[in-house]
Amino acid sequence: MTGEPTVDHPAHGHSGRRPINFDRKPRLVFWEMTKACPLACVHCRATAQPSPAPGELTTEEGMALIDELAATDRPTPVLILTGGDCLQRSDLGPLTSYANRLGVPVAISPSVSDSLNEATLRMLRDNGVRTASLSLDGAVAGTHEHVRQIPGHFEDTLRAIDLLQANGFSVQINTAVMAQNVHELADIAALIFRHGVRTWEVFFLINVGRGQRVSEIAAGDYEDVCHFLVDAAQYGMTVRTVEAPFFRRARDLRDGAEGNDPAAEFGLGTLYRQLRDRLRGELGEATSRVLAPTIATRDGKGIIFVAHDGEVYPAGFLPLSLGSVRDRGLLDIYTEHPLLQAIRAAEFPGRCGSCEYSDRCGGSRARAYAATGDALADDPACPY
């Protein structure tokens, strides 16, 4: 699995515009263009494979999807091309060129492979693509390459960051948090900061796809990691989370407790202290206000996922089919499906629904579904 660029990025062209009504349309449309990928990551959501899977959307079907997004009112949803590895699609050039002509903003989420090269990046730049995300899952080669299953991939990823920046791309780094790398988060933050990266998206692992074989972090560590990420967002680097909307709660709590020691104020554990102290040791004292998005998206609210075969899901980590773009328009599915309507209305029967953060957070619907089989159930990772 590669990561995906996400909201509140100037390169997406929405900065300063009126907010989107998420009942009418999504802000982000993820299109899993292909299952093909040269990597075999141990936590891959997509269960990617060396070759394309049967039934992948055709070029014409992809253009129809772009047509639908282009027909919405402004701001146009961002189309994020992912996979597998989106660079394995032979029609990537025509599709991105078509989106550019119609004014649909596009971001890419490629794998680090030989396909990520100067010629491809020049073509994408010519087609209006300006934002890319790469995955980095360890601060050292051993950790990252254990996940990616490719020798030398750690240094290849660092070179790819530099290559993208040299070609004028804004680079976001995605890190999947799991038991195997949680103690390296401060070092990862320092490493990417020194490489000029100013957007870090942290994925909290959901046990789907090959990720069922990977260990999530301990239940008591979610809160520690979220408060550490608030610290990391004070170094001039925007920090976002995926499948951890309760990060917004941690950020809000910290806003009301400035000047206090977070560990003492919120009863945080040793993991928080270790990560905080390590970050300060690497980067010094904080240098900026907290840089973290405020937009209250979650699976199915502002976000929608189109799989390689056209099946539509609330998000890539929530494998609950809502229909197919081959049978019905994407926006019809998004606006009219009862599950998505309930998610957007925060109609959760348990503590997620009664929580004062039910709208701004609402819990990870993917984690709720993975744990209980009910996408409206409580998120077991949140202790609030």
Report domain extents, the chain.
10-283
Q: Which tokens belong to 342? A: 């309930």
Q: How confident is the model at residue 317 (pLDDT cuts 50, 70, 90)?
A: very high
The pLDDT assigned to 237 comes to 97
What is 10-283's CATH superfamily? Aldolase class I (3.20.20.70)
User: What CA–CA distance (Å, rounded) separates 7 from 78?
Assistant: 9
User: What CA–CA distance (Å, rounded) separates 318 from 208?
Assistant: 8
Lowest-confidence pick of 184-198, 242-256, 333-347:
242-256
- State the average pLDDT over residues 210-228: 82
The pLDDT assigned to 185 comes to 98
Q: Which tokens belong to 292? A: 């973290």
107 vs 12, residue with greater confidence: 107
- Partner residues linked to 346 by β-bridges: none
Q: How confident is the model at residue 4 (pLDDT cuts 50, 70, 90)?
A: very low
Q: What is the mean pLDDT of the chain?
A: 91
- State the average pLDDT over residues 167-172: 97
> For 241-297, what is the HEC assignment?
EECCCCHHHHHHHHHCCCCCCHHHHCCCCHHHHHHHHHHHHHHCCCCCCCCCCCCCC
The pLDDT assigned to 39 comes to 78
- Partner residues linked to 176 by β-bridges: 203
18, HSE (Cβ side, Cα atoms, 13 Å): 4
Q: Which tokens belong to 144? A: 């990252």
- State the average pLDDT over residues 359-366: 95
Residues of the chain with pLDDT > 70: what percent? 91
For residue 337, pLDDT over 80 is answered with yes
For residue 114, pLDDT over 70 is answered with yes
Q: How confident is the model at residue 193 (pLDDT cuts 50, 70, 90)?
A: very high
User: What CA–CA distance (Å, rounded) separates 242 from 247?
Assistant: 9
For residue 17, pLDDT over 60 is answered with no
Among candidate residues 168, 4, 28, the one with its CA nearest the CA of residue 104: 28
For residue 164, pLDDT over 50 is answered with yes
The pLDDT assigned to 134 comes to 97
- Answer left, alpha or beta for residue 259, where phi above 0 means left and psi between -120 and 50 means alpha: left
Lowest-confidence pick of 37-51, 242-256, 337-351:
37-51
User: What CA–CA distance (Å, rounded) separates 313 from 321?
Assistant: 5
pLDDT in tens, 249-289: 999 999 977 778 999 999 999 999 999 999 999 999 999 99
- State the average pLDDT over residues 120-140: 97
- State the average pLDDT over residues 46-57: 82
Give per-residue burial for 194-211: e unless 16+ CB within 10 Å, then b: eeebbbbbbbbbbbbbbb
- For residue 27, the 8-state DSSP code is S
14 vs 158, residue with greater confidence: 158
DSSP string, 325-343: TTTS-HHHHHHH-HHHHHH
Q: How confident is the model at residue 147 (pLDDT cuts 50, 70, 90)?
A: confident
Among candidate residues 329, 359, 333, the one with its CA nearest the CA of residue 344: 359
Q: What share of the chain is helix, strand, coil (3-state, %, to 5)?
A: 35, 15, 50
For residue 48, pLDDT over 80 is answered with no
12 vs 224, residue with greater confidence: 224
For residue 13, pLDDT over 60 is answered with no
Lowest-confidence pick of 34-38, 55-59, 147-151, 354-358:
147-151
For residue 18, pLDDT over 90 is answered with no
The pLDDT assigned to 319 comes to 92
User: What CA–CA distance (Å, rounded) separates 69 from 77?
Assistant: 6
For residue 3, pLDDT over 70 is answered with no
For residue 16, pLDDT over 50 is answered with no
Q: Which tokens belong to 265? A: 């104020």
Q: How confident is the model at residue 7 (pLDDT cuts 50, 70, 90)?
A: very low
Q: Count other C-beta atoms under 10 Å from residue 103's C-beta.
A: 13
pTM of the complete model: 0.92
